[in-house]
A = this chain, B = another copy of it.
């Protein structure tokens, strides 16, 4: 049997990232222990790890809540991502294996399908696919310190289920960015991929916090 703490952390992580638990929700230790059928000890351990990842906020003697971000913090987060993530993509491009490129293709294509306007549109699914898309690039950059610095910062958009707030135009742009980024990666053109990632983030920022504030 796998360690209980890690399993609890994984469960919570998925529930938070999938939006099943909303931002700001209080996380009582006893409640979680009952729901996941483990003692409070591994729950505390799990919450501690999630706090390290920036997914939950831990206040002394006052328990844990799913992390929240002010618009000011979102602004700062995008400033950070704009400095790090395009660089990560550039570093990743020469390291990408054929399997990873295929996976990126698959993710980008599936996002296009899930995003097509109409009855079958599934924005929640896009959030998850998008998370894996960005995560794959970050991991492929092959720099643990870089991945660590980006870890806490990429979650904000996911938890806020950002795609739900996109305008149709912004959504279409975003999905096409993914496809173009894979094309750039396949061409081995780091400059190109970096530029698209930069545009991709600007597009996201504009819809999440508005321009010209």
| Residues of chain A having any CB pair with chain B under 8 Å | 3, 6, 41, 44-45, 48-49, 51-52, 54, 60-61, 73, 76-77, 79-80, 83-84, 87, 143-146, 148-150, 152-153
Q: How far is the CA of A155 from the CA of B208 in the complex (A)?
A: 33
In the complex, the chain B residue whose C-beta lies closest to that of A148 is B152
Indicate if the CB atoms of B45 and A146 lie closer than 8 Å.
no
**Contact, CB under 8 Å: B52 / A145:** no
- Complex CA gap A90/B200 in Å reads 25
Q: Are A76 and B152 in contact (CB under 8 A)?
A: no
**B54, B80, B146: the one within 8 Å of A76 (CB):** B146
- A48–B54 Cα gap in the complex (Å)? 14
| Alpha-carbon distance A45/B87, docked complex (angstroms) | 34
- Give the shortest distance, in Å, between A70 (CB) and chain B (any CB): 10
Contact B73 A145 (CB under 8 A): yes
- Best-surrounded residue of A6, A60, A84, A145 (most CB of chain B within 10 A): A145
- The residue that A54 contacts in the complex, of B44, B87, B148, with Cβ under 8 A, is B148
Can you name 14 extra interface pairs (CB under 8 A) apart from A45-B48, A73-B144, A73-B145?
Answer: A41-B41, A48-B48, A48-B49, A52-B52, A76-B144, A76-B146, A79-B146, A80-B84, A80-B145, A80-B149, A83-B83, A84-B149, A148-B153, A149-B150
